[in-house]
A and B are shown apart, each in its own frame.
Chain A
Amino acid sequence: MKRDWQSLQGIMNELLSNSFKAGASNMESKIKIEKDKYVVWVKDDGRGLSGETLEVVQNNLSQPRRYEIEEYYGHLAGRTVKGSGLNIVGMMIDDYHLKTEEGKGTEITIFIKR
């Protein structure tokens, strides 16, 4: 469980840091521990995503889960300087939902099997 909450904390940090970078002034976040999965949710009123940036984000989050990366490099989630944060998150999760509108904000829900 300790390892799980450390991973969840890193993922949450990464999502919130992206909200800050998107210029959000209002952010909400939630973690739910369910019987078979963890759910991480973040909503912000930042710039939103579109075009190539949206495509990169979707590609990063759509990667298959890679436990060998998660075990070693998962410690970087939420701590990267630039560039590879969501890439690492994408390798640590099983599924995601993304709702975003340019100029209005982004809502992201992440699912991780227990």
Chain B
Amino acid sequence: MLALIVAGFFYGFEEGIVEDIRKIITVPGVLITDFFVVGSPGAALVNAGLVGLAGLILTLVAKIPVRGPIIAAIFTMAGFSLMGKTIINIWPIFLGVWLYSVIQKEQFNHFILNALFGTALAPLASSASFGLELGIWGGLVFGVMGGFLIPPLAGHFLATHQGMNLYNVGFTAGFIGTLFAGIFRAFGPGKELLTIWGEGFNPSIMLPLILYFVSMLVVGLILSKGKLGSYLKLNKEVGALVSDFVSQHGPGAAFFNMGVVGIIGTSYVLAVGGELNGPSISGIFTMVGFAAFGKHAKNVLPIMVGAFLSLLVFQWSPTEPGPILGVLFGTTLAPIAGNYGSIAGIAAGFFHMAMVMNVGYLHGGLNLYNNGFAGGIVATLMVGVLKNFSNNREEAIK
């Protein structure tokens, strides 16, 4: 996270750090708002580093060990701080989750994952403050309400897809966002979808990004003492929730896997001629984070292939914003490929693209994890059918 802040200063600012960050924190931040464009690449990276650090400090204060799920949550937070989350709008969500823990008479640290992932709804606060012009208190009230709903509903929605959609809070927040978008629209203000998509950053971003992931490979190799046995074993995991690769295969294998998955994501964007910008890097960072918590090359590639193949027959081009994000974030369905095989994975990727291009209107971009919402619907449908064709008696107990 510190590296992101340092990189931010390296890239520099358009009107100074204070002004650029002020621009970022005063937009509604709904999907798709590229902070590279709204502020500047430097401000977006500093914001991402600050949000990631806030999540990390909260985790350390809560005395929760930093393992797979926390790594996934921190990288997801940092990634989405390039397109929607800010160092300001995440706090009402934390407050809402904390309020829930107080009412339930439970310790807040038990809800840390709900709080970190729950920042998917951060635009709810910004939209109320700056979109509906309800001011700071309006943003606080709506943000707290969103955060309060995350813990009870996240567990509730898990059961529908049985752990096969990794971005479960995205699935949850999709429904919550749909409720609030409906309420907002009912009072009049339109919640039309937005696309602020930066272009032309590839030459300056590509090399540092690849070096960042290569450094993860090196750290992984050092921690594994040059042996790849654990990493190869990791690739045999189904990847369904809960697959904590740090605990199961060690930090070395997990780091190496994060590097590999990061390079896969970056390579895809470059191979199709897509843009490396706030939103697409957000997708890559989220893949990397979840490479400590369920994703690996073997279960993400079929999903990406399926999602890409869909673009050969669907009306959208692979370089458009939605399809780029759909392929990267579609890997939320990696456990489908891990559990039911590559063909099912390709089918999941195909269905995911159709779904993700269709559900954004429902929540009006209030849920940043739109692909988690779409992925949850696809996973629920596919698992409901596929589980009846698998022979449970033959499954090994693990």
Contacts and interface: CB of A to CB of B under 8 A. Distances in A.
Which secondary structure dominates where chain A touches chain B?
helix
Nearest to A67: B110
A88 B155 CA distance: 13
B255 to A, nearest CB: 20
Interface string A63-107: 100011111111110011111101110010000000000000000
Nearest to B392: A21
A74 B156 CA distance: 10
Interface residues of B, number: 38
Nearest to B106: A71
Contact of B238 (A22, A84, A91): A84
A57 B396 CA distance: 10
A64 to B, nearest CB: 9
Interface in A13-50: 17-18, 20-23, 49
B398 A83 contact: yes
Interface string B15-36: 0000000000000000000000
A81 B383 CA distance: 8
Interface stretch (B240-248, B256-264, B278-286, B312-320): B240-248
Interface string B369-392: 000000000000001000100101
Contacts of B69: 68-69
Interface stretch (B125-133, B158-166, B179-187): B158-166
B247 A63 contact: yes
Contacts of A68: 64, 69, 109-113
A79 B396 contact: no
A84 B240 CA distance: 7
Contacts of B64: 68
B250 to A, nearest CB: 13
Contacts of B397: 18, 21-22, 49, 53, 56-57, 86
A76 B113 contact: no
Contacts of A53: 396-398
Interface string B319-360: 000000000000000000001000000000000000000000
Contacts of A9: none
A109 interface: no
B225 interface: no
Contact of A83 (B156, B247, B339): B339
Interface in B214-260: 237-238, 240-244, 247-248
B158 A75 contact: yes
A72 B244 CA distance: 14
Nearest to A78: B159
Q: Which of A18, A20, A73 has the most CB of B within 10 A?
A: A73
Contacts of B158: 72-73, 75-76, 79
A80 B243 contact: no
A68 B70 CA distance: 10
Interface in B85-136: 106-107, 109-114
B151 interface: yes
Contact of A67 (B109, B162, B243): B109
Pick the most buried of B151, B163, B237, B244: most chain A CB atoms within 10 A of its CB: B163
Contacts of A82: 238, 240, 339, 390, 395, 398
Contacts of B159: 75-76, 79
Contacts of B237: 83
A74 B111 contact: no
A53 B394 CA distance: 13
A23 B64 CA distance: 39
Contacts of A56: 397-398
Nearest to B338: A83
A68 B387 CA distance: 28
Given A21-B395, A69-B113, A83-B398, 14 more contacts: A23-B393, A49-B397, A53-B398, A63-B247, A68-B64, A68-B110, A76-B241, A80-B240, A81-B387, A82-B238, A82-B398, A87-B242, A87-B243, A91-B242
27 contacts: A21-B393, A21-B395, A23-B393, A56-B398, A57-B398, A67-B107, A67-B109, A69-B69, A69-B113, A70-B110, A71-B110, A71-B113, A73-B163, A75-B156, A75-B159, A76-B163, A76-B242, A79-B158, A79-B159, A79-B163, A81-B164, A81-B339, A84-B242, A84-B243, A84-B398, A86-B397, A87-B398
